[in-house]
Every structure is written in structure tokens, then in C-alpha cells.
Amino acid sequence: MALDLKAIYTTNAIESMNMGLRKIIKNRDSLPNDEAAVNFLFGFE
């Protein structure tokens, strides 16, 4: 079963944010669990 991959076009602002997030979370100790990731992305306390 082949996967149908679609190109996703994003704005420069979103690409910049994604690159920044990848740099921050590259080290897995930065976000030890799923809850920490949600808090980081959406600012929940």
C-alpha cells in the first residue's frame, strides 16, 4: 500500500517557527513528556 504524499506549502513565518522549534526540541531532555510538549507549543500552565 503506497502512501500518497502531498506537498504542504507554508509561509516563511511558519517555516521559521518550525525551524526554531526543531532546534529547541532537538535535545529530548527539553521536553520530557507529551504534556511538556503541549505546554511549550500552546503556552498552557
What pLDDT does residue 2 have?
Answer: 46
Is 37 part of a structural domain of the chain? yes
What pLDDT does residue 45 have?
Answer: 61
Q: What is the pLDDT of residues 16-38, one digit of tens each?
A: 888 887 887 776 667 788 888 78
Is 17 part of a structural domain of the chain? yes
d(CA 41, CA 27): 16
Q: Is the pLDDT of residue 13 over 80?
A: no
Question: pLDDT band for position 14 (50/70/90)?
Answer: confident
The amino acid at 16:
S
The owner of cell 503556552 is 43
Q: Which of the pair, 31 or 39, is modelled with greater confidence?
A: 39
Is 3 part of a structural domain of the chain? no
Q: Tell me the whole-structure pTM to 2 decimals.
A: 0.43
What pLDDT does residue 1 have?
Answer: 43
d(CA 27, CA 35): 16
Domain that holds residue 32: 12-42
**Cβ atoms 25, 37 nearer than 8 A:** yes
What's the structural domain count of the chain? 1
Angle at 37 between CA 28 and CA 34, to 5 degrees: 85
